[in-house]
């Protein structure tokens, strides 16, 4: 199941960052006042961007990284000017996956 990282611009020009399986449904929750506590006191203005992540763990780690970013960096991310923070695979995992896909000669 895909998870998404999303960015919402709020009425006070702040940017809320969250994760969800269904971004449209989650955005509606924010609009209806049933989303995160932050968006209850900082009214959502618009959905800036959403990015598909591999799984919940990757989405959570990317969310944590984005929340550390400055507002201008978050806007650059939403505009596609910065890459989405990616989660590094554990050492050796990529090599073991690639070895399993190689054909014997």
Name the 3-class secondary structure at 88.
Answer: coil
Question: What is the reported pTM?
Answer: 0.81
Q: What is the DSSP letter of 54?
A: S
Please report the pLDDT score of residue 100 as a whole number: 46
Q: Is the pLDDT of residue 103 over 80?
A: no
Name the 3-class secondary structure at 21.
Answer: coil
Please report the pLDDT score of residue 105 as a whole number: 36
Q: Residue range 66-85: average pLDDT?
A: 94
The domains of the chain are located at 3-81
Q: Is the pLDDT of residue 5 over 90?
A: yes
What are the helix (H) ranges across 1-105? 23-32, 37-41, 56-67, 71-78, 93-101
Please report the pLDDT score of residue 75 as a whole number: 96
Kindly indicate the confidence band of residue 17, based on its pLDDT and cuts at 50, 70 and 90: very high
Write out the two tokens for 2: 């895909």
Q: If you search the block for the tokens 């970013």, which residue do you land on?
A: 69
Distance of CA 104 to the CA centre of its chain: 39
Task: Tell me how long the chain is.
Answer: 105
Q: Is the pLDDT of residue 6 over 60?
A: yes
Kindly indicate the confidence band of residue 36, based on its pLDDT and cuts at 50, 70 and 90: very high
CATH 3.40.1440.10 fits 3-81, yes or no: yes
User: Is 29:35 a contact under the CB 8 Å cutoff?
Assistant: yes
């Amino acid at each position: 199941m895909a998870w998404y990282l999303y960015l919402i611009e709020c009425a006070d020009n702040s940017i809320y960052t969250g994760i969800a399986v269904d971004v449209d449904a989650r955005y509606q929750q924010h609009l209806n006042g049933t989303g995160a506590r932050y968006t209850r006191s900082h009214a959502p203005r618009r959905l800036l961007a959403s990015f598909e992540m591999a799984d919940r763990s990757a989405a959570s780690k990317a969310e944590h990284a984005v929340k550390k970013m400055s507002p201008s960096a978050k806007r650059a991310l939403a505009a596609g000017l910065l890459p989405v923070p990616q989660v590094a695979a554990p050492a050796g995992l990529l090599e073991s996956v690639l070895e399993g896909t190689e054909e014997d000669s």
